[in-house]
Amino acid sequence: MKLATFAVDTPVGPVERIGAVDESTDTDDTPADEAALVDLTAAYGATLEAEGEPAPADLARSHVPPEMIAFLERGDRAIADAREALEYAAETDAERGPGGAKLRYEPGEYRLLAPLPRPNSLRDCMAIEEHVENSMDGEIADVWYDLPVYYKGNADGVVAPGETVQWPDYSEIMDYELEIAAVIGERGRDIPAEEAEKHIAGYTVFNDFSARDIQGEEMEGRLGPAKGKDFANGLGPYLVPREDIDVLSAPMTARIDGEVWSTGIVDEMYHSFADIIEHVSQSETLHPGDVIGSGTVGEGCGLELGQWLEDGDTVALEVEGIGTLEHTVIE
């Protein structure tokens, strides 16, 4: 199952909804904006209505909320209800749910948003040794092996799949980063590594856009990154539940204007997501909707390759089983 956040136009303006890709329209080659989406809240309401439940629309909104963080706060129960809704939509000829709510949206009838248009928080790690070694001229500090270091990014800087990224005028060096992000689905504090997996709702593709020139300057002051990262964070196109993907072995590819620049897998992580969650949650509470990046795969960015993005380039990051996250960068 591939979960999505999308917007539809209504007489009172755009309305945000939670959906899932209609599996009959989903292939490895289907672009993110060309798949049909099932409105999970409406479809779950339709299942309740078919079972004769009273007030099915109200009950559906509590079981499958139409907003991703509220959905994640229900944990595995929401995932189970979403699966039931998707199955019902696949088996029925009905087009409408309670109150006339539309069950299915075809391409062109919706606008795909990031799965979490505004995460609860955003952290990004640097957990893959080859990337660190390449980025640091082979000089890796001992602390990197001891701690899964990370920085906190701008949760308000998320850009939707397909959105054009306007590069900040304080930077002239444009770069991408090929990553996977884990999305927290269960609240927790002081979480041991062996219990960390159940706190992950699922995974999405993460492009940690990097303004390399200003990033290099500000980090000489032993803080940051800040302005080098905070202007754009790509997430999407979908959120895939943890049970539906072997994330460690999922092939990852970065294409720039169709040309392959980077490949890898996150099985290369020196610090696992479980170790990262254990570290981050020490004396600190993780909440549903927190996003944690894996860090860049080896040779997963221009900095390692010795080449940069140019004005008008289209960056497509693909993770098998999740989809392709695409953005065009402009000066």
Tens-digit pLDDT profile for residues 199-234: 999 999 999 999 999 999 998 898 889 999 999 999
Q: Identify which of 272, 133, 264, 251 has the alpha carbon closest to the alpha carbon of residue 192.
A: 272
Q: Give the chain's length.
A: 331
Contact 154, 211 (CB under 8 A): no
Q: Domains of the chain by range and CATH? A: 3-113 (no CATH), 121-330 (3.90.850.10)
Q: State CA 122 to chain mean position distance.
A: 11
Residue type at 5 in one-letter notation: T
How many of the other CB atoms lie within 10 Å of CB of 281? Answer: 20
Contact 37, 20 (CB under 8 A): yes
C-alpha–C-alpha distance, residues 233 and 170, integer Å = 17
What does DSSP assign to residue 98? G
Could you list the mean pLDDT of each consecutive 10-residue stretch along the chain, which spans 331 residues? 95 93 78 90 96 94 97 96 96 90 95 98 96 87 94 97 97 98 98 98 98 93 91 98 96 98 94 97 98 97 97 98 97 93
Q: Identify which of 109, 133, 129 has the alpha carbon closest to the alpha carbon of residue 14.
A: 109
What does DSSP assign to residue 29? T
CA distances from 221 to 216, 225, 226, 323 (A): 9, 10, 11, 37
Task: Report pLDDT for 318.
Answer: 98
